[in-house]
Amino acid sequence: MNYAGNWLHLFRPLDLLGAGDYRRDALTCAGFLAFVGALSGLVIGWLKWKPGLFGRPTYARGRTQPYRETWLKYHFWAGLIGGAFALVWAGSGFLSTNPGQIFSSAAPSRQELARYRGPDAPKVVTDWRPASAAGLGMEIVELRWSRLGGEAVLLSYAKDGRRAPVNVAGGQEKIVDAALIAAAKRLAGDKQVSSVETLADYDAYYFAGHEGGRAERPLPALRVDFADAGKTSVYLDPQDGRLLLRVDNSRRLYRWLYVAVHHWDFGWFQHAPVARRVWIVTWAGLGLILASSAVVLAWRRLRRSLPERSRRGERSGSPTPARA
């Protein structure tokens, strides 16, 4: 499934060819061409469609659309019904690569992250040895230190992604809110903190995502809002102090223009994964009909544009003899 879907969708074969550095540019160009193709096809389809009132035929032989040939009819109706969805899907895919860096980054820079983490952890943490955590269950697959300022916590991770604090010298069960707020202020610099809120549930911008990424978007989370021009908010993990997400007005626009339109993980769909999958598969099926019929029609048009001698040679099953 990965090779049939994600691997092709993200142009991963370019990595195997040593052209991985150009993959983002290739995705951007492909998304733009798909958007232009969907837009032009949709415009042509609407210009050609002349619907009669209450199903009254407007074309010869009782037809309500201009085509008699099967593939043309498939392409016409799939384009009219699914064309708008294909248009917004292609457009959002084009924006996913952040062309021209028109949207701000959701991840902090190295300098910002270093400022957020603050000074080095206490000496007792750096002297810790794995033997101190003996007796952990076999389901534990990873131990990870996380520090924030002068505080540190050691977490154990199970096979299913569950995490829990490990009681060792120099560690604690969680990062206290005061340390989180102090780290947020270090990150804010000269900007002021306007509000602090503990989230027990996801909001429109901080959510688990369509692939169930609760490990990357845990709850509860601390949201700290800054009083700056971009109305920046940062989401922090009280368990280990991670900076989970940073959003400003630019990233909020990106969330609705790309993430929401491309993945449909907002509103009612966030709480109805089965309905969301059925919805996307239905429209993707119409897109598949639209694309396959376009390929068939394009190939037929190309065949008709070949020289007459080439077509005669194909029909006879033998190459056309060359003239002396």
What pLDDT, on a 0 to 100 scale, did the predictor assign at position 272? 87
Q: How many CB atoms lie within 10 A of CB 30?
A: 15
Helices (H), 265-319: 273-305, 308-316
What pLDDT, on a 0 to 100 scale, did the predictor assign at position 54? 62
Dihedral of alpha carbons 269, 199, 213, 193, sign:
positive
Contact status, residue 119 vs residue 149, Cβ threshold 8 Å: yes
Cα(4)–Cα(221) distance, rounded to whole angstroms?
Answer: 36
**Average pLDDT over the chain, rounded to an integer:** 84
Cα(234)–Cα(214) distance, rounded to whole angstroms?
Answer: 17
**Residue 319: is the preceding peptide bond cis (ω within 30°)?**
no
Q: What is the pLDDT of residues 257-314, one digit of tens each?
A: 998 999 888 888 888 889 999 999 999 888 888 889 989 999 988 888 877 655 555 5
Helices (H), the chain: 8-9, 13-16, 23-48, 70-96, 110-117, 123-126, 177-188, 249-254, 261-263, 273-305, 308-316
Strands of the 140-148 sheet, one edge to the other? 140-148, 151-158, 163-165
Q: What is the pLDDT of residues 3-43, one digit of tens each?
A: 888 899 999 999 999 998 999 999 999 999 999 999 999 99
Determine which of 54-58, 163-167, 291-295 has the lowest per-residue pLDDT on average: 54-58
Helix (H, G, I), strand (E, B) or coil at 200: coil
Cα(320)–Cα(4) distance, rounded to whole angstroms?
Answer: 40
Q: Mean pLDDT throughout 138-167?
A: 84
Q: Mean pLDDT throughout 244-253?
A: 94
Q: What is the pLDDT of residues 65-114, one digit of tens each?
A: 778 888 888 888 888 888 888 899 999 999 999 999 999 988 888 898 98
Residue 254 in this model has a pLDDT that exceeds 50: yes
What pLDDT, on a 0 to 100 scale, did the predictor assign at position 324? 42
Query: Which long-range contacts link 27-34 to residues 24+ away (Cβ below 8 Å)?
Result: 27/93, 27/96, 27/97, 28/94, 28/97, 28/99, 31/90, 31/91, 31/93, 31/94, 31/95, 31/96, 31/97, 32/94, 32/99, 34/86, 34/90, 34/93, 34/94
Q: Mean pLDDT throughout 218-229?
A: 93
Helix (H, G, I), strand (E, B) or coil at 241: coil
Cα(12)–Cα(3) distance, rounded to whole angstroms?
Answer: 9
| Residue whose pair of structure tokens reads 């064309």 in the numeric block | 83
Q: Mean pLDDT throughout 239-252?
A: 93
Q: CA geometry: angle at 131 spanning 128 and 133, to 5°? A: 85
Residue 55 in this model has a pLDDT that exceeds 70: no
What pLDDT, on a 0 to 100 scale, did the predictor assign at position 304? 84
Residue 49 in this model has a pLDDT that exceeds 70: yes
* Eight-class DSSP state of 271: G
Helices (H), 49-167: 70-96, 110-117, 123-126
What pLDDT, on a 0 to 100 scale, did the predictor assign at position 123? 47
Most confident of 47-56, 114-123, 124-133, 286-295: 286-295
Question: Comparing 51 with 194, which gets the higher pLDDT?
Answer: 194
Question: Comparing 266 with 64, which gets the higher pLDDT?
Answer: 266
Helix (H, G, I), strand (E, B) or coil at 206: coil
